[in-house]
Structure 1
């Protein structure tokens, strides 16, 4: 999972989004608290200034001319409070405080807004702003202490509402950002998917080089792959040229040898001709192996190809009184060279006509990933312990049948070249069952061990 770029991008995005939302949560919360606190502090300062402006001195005593008009001050537990401590120890306070008298001293200012905390009417917590001023009369200064307060709940209620709303907004924002992050990861990795698809098309022979219409960040990768493909193409072309030169170069010596063995006794001449033909077949196979994996991929219709092969071998089958039982899925096609498929399937059908006693079954079908060709006969078959032997080059179980022993080996090479598989088993009708499996997406590759 950790090797997945999509997973890494998603985790990185989730962490970044989570960190950003946490910073935003605390920042917005701090700003809102500061805003609300400043609003209350401003209101309390206004109240203190109003109270201070309405204080007067008469006969050395301080009294208030008229209390603030806000009805909350005149209602018990009304939500706004004020109190004045005079120099002679008297306390002037709002009706809203009722029988609660705020202490002259002992209240400690705390927090960023210099509020003090005390118990108000009905035991509710109130926040107080304290101010010490001096009132002058006839040259005498009278120090007084003024408190203005409000319930703590008035401050906490908007903060709680803000947190609740912010929580919902943050959750929605997080979901939107996470969805955008997943979409971004998909979009960012889309060029890599395109590169993968084009590499698959190159392997299938549908492209020679990759398209350079990719983002700048992916361009170096595409350029390196195209350079590798160019070098590979040059190497393969060189190998093809050498194989072709070898095959053509052997023709003249083999022709001379064929003429020379004409003068040998009959038995020796037949053995010599067999060996010369074997060399010719191997030279031709070398040329074909060089061709595999290089040409542009063709799409071969299996119904047509198998029909042609059966038609070619039908005279041999009729001579041996063999019947054909052929079923090919309509529209079945394989991305492979028709000549290669004809050689692979033809070799197996040829073997079947040699060994079958009455019937040859041919089935061709496929699904989205694989195409399968199954050929069975009612001949003697091949024992399980001998099946690997018949797949080795130049080896056969019955020398009386003749041949070079290359048939099934050539089929196996072709299957390997196209990324397929050849398997041997016992048919339900008693003989050999050969199954060819071809990938439908063009899994062609260069044979690892050409003849």
Structure 2
């Protein structure tokens, strides 16, 4: 199925132009053929009438007393011919026929049966107009036949020249109409292009609604989109309020449980506190997933954001003299909520600060339609077979229980919510490398809450 509206309009215009010009071609061609054939018929009729006017009866025979003065009739194979036939008499001919006798031939396709075809003095085809007449009345009537002719090629050359000019004219007309159709489509679809740009500005967080302007046919759509945006904003505010209420509702029970656990036996208290921590982490993750569905898109400068995150995390590595290396390709920006992006990259950097021995490398670059953030360290690293388990809830990179993998899992959820991904590999520094990928032009996906 054809999805392009512009292509559909182009095909429709092409078909309409083609059918219109074919109709014009057929109509004008028919009219010109009729005109040219009519002109030759009139000329041959005048020639035949002038011959008939000179016919008299003399000694019981029909005699031509005068012939037309057209000089072409006196030159052999000149292109104009006549022949006079009377019953029982030798036919009289124009000198232009020389020794050729015009005989009745098959009807010509030109003139709807007015002309017949015969062979001229030069062997070429000629078109013959035959007129039968008589002189006198009753028993004294003498009938005769006058045949006038002209070359078929003369008619065909005239039609060919006309059709050539007509074809060139229609080609120019087709080009003009095609250009007009292209301009019309461009002007007609311009409001849709403006609407797309307005929606892109809303998605990027640069505008809150679409301006109500443009053609009357588009304004109802603009109004519906603005109503949808208003309803979405209302739903966003409600979701934020519910998420905040849920977060505050968890704090007090978890705090009470933590205080009660401290009064228990050490072994039981440790288990209870660990379970409380798991509940808190799961709640945080669910709240994070809920927030991903309601935040707005915005253009976030990647280099600036990573620089701020490094400034916050650097004090945690000063005691180990860990060096931070940042490399970015120009001015990279991602269409994503700044808070989401900061949390996704911050969790990865926080993980690197825990395992790096002396160096952390951050590289941000663009690979065609994807923006990559690669964070590597010179820590102990992780075996490739264990990559799948790093993101499991409550699992350390070294396999211990406790929930260190939750931050990376949240980073993965954020990336996937924007159509990206989070993968692992071996860093050039020797440790783990976390690769965070975002599409350069993301579309927020509907993502189910993690289990």
TM-score (norm 1): 0.85
Q: Which residue of 2 aligns with 1:389?
A: 389
Aligned to 1:248: 248
Q: Please state if 1:76 is matched with 2:62.
A: no
**Cα drift, residue 150 of structure 1:** 1.5
Q: Any conservation in 1 of the 2:87–2:144 contact (CA below 8 Å)?
A: yes
Contact 2:394–2:402 (CA<8 Å) still a contact in 1? no
Q: Distance in 1 between matches of 2:330 and 2:267?
A: 50
User: Structure 1, residues 213-242: CA drift from partner, whole Å, max 9, x if none?
Assistant: 576666777677666666655555444333
CA distance 1:102–1:346, change in 2 (3 Å): closer
> 1:440: Cα distance to partner?
2.4
Q: CA deviation at 1:166?
A: 3.1
How far is 1:144 from its partner? 2.3
Report the counterpart of residue 49 of structure 1 in structure 2: 49
In structure 2, C-alpha distance between the alignment counterparts of 1:138 and 1:434, rounded to whole Å:
120
Which residue pairs with 1:323 in the alignment? 323
Q: Displacement of 1:305 after TM fit?
A: 2.3
Tell me the residue number matched to 1:416.
416
User: Quick check: 1:205–1:293 contact (8 Å CA) kept in 2?
Assistant: no
Q: Which moved more, 1:10-19 or 1:126-135?
A: 10-19
Distance 1:310 1:4, change over 3 A: closer
1:167–1:298 CA distance, 2 compared to 1 (3 A): closer
Q: Unpaired runs of 5+ in structure 1? A: none
Equivalent in the alignment of 1:162: 162
CA distance in 2, matches of 1:160, 1:299: 66
Cα deviation, 1:11-41, whole Å, max 9, x if unaligned, reads 5544444444444333322222111110000
Q: Which runs of 5+ in 2 are unaligned?
A: none
**Matched residue, 1:430:** 430
Q: Aligned pair in 2 of structure 1 residues 90, 314: CA closer, same or farther (>3 Å)?
A: closer
Partner of 2:24, secondary structure, is helix
SS at match of 2:419: coil
Range 380-389 or range 76-85, more displaced: 76-85
SS in 2 for 1:122: coil
Question: Tell me, what secondary structure is at the counterpart of 1:121?
Answer: coil
Q: 1:394-443: CA deviations, max 9, x gaps? A: 22244779655411111112212222211111111210101111222243
The 3 A distance-change label for structure 1 pair 89 and 324 is same
- What SS does the corresponding residue of 1:409 show, helix, strand or coil? helix
Structure 1 residues 392 and 13, CA gap change in structure 2 (3 angstroms): same
SS of residue paired to 2:136 = strand
Indicate conservation of the 8 Å contact 2:274/2:402, yes or no.
no
SS in 2 for 1:123: coil
1: CA distance between counterparts of 2:191 and 2:225?
14
RMSD value, Cα? 3.5
Q: Distance in 1 between matches of 2:270 and 2:250?
A: 20
Query: 1:133 maps to which residue?
Result: 133
Compute the displacement of 1:8 (Å).
Answer: 4.9
1:333–1:154 distance in 2 versus 1, CA, 3 Å: closer
Distance 1:446 1:10 in 2: 36
**What's the secondary structure of 1:25's corresponding residue?**
helix
Distance 1:397-1:279 versus aligned 2 partners, 3 A rule: same
> Equivalents in 2 of 1:408, 1:170: separation in Å?
68
Tell me the distance in 2 between the aligned counterparts of 1:59 and 1:35: 43
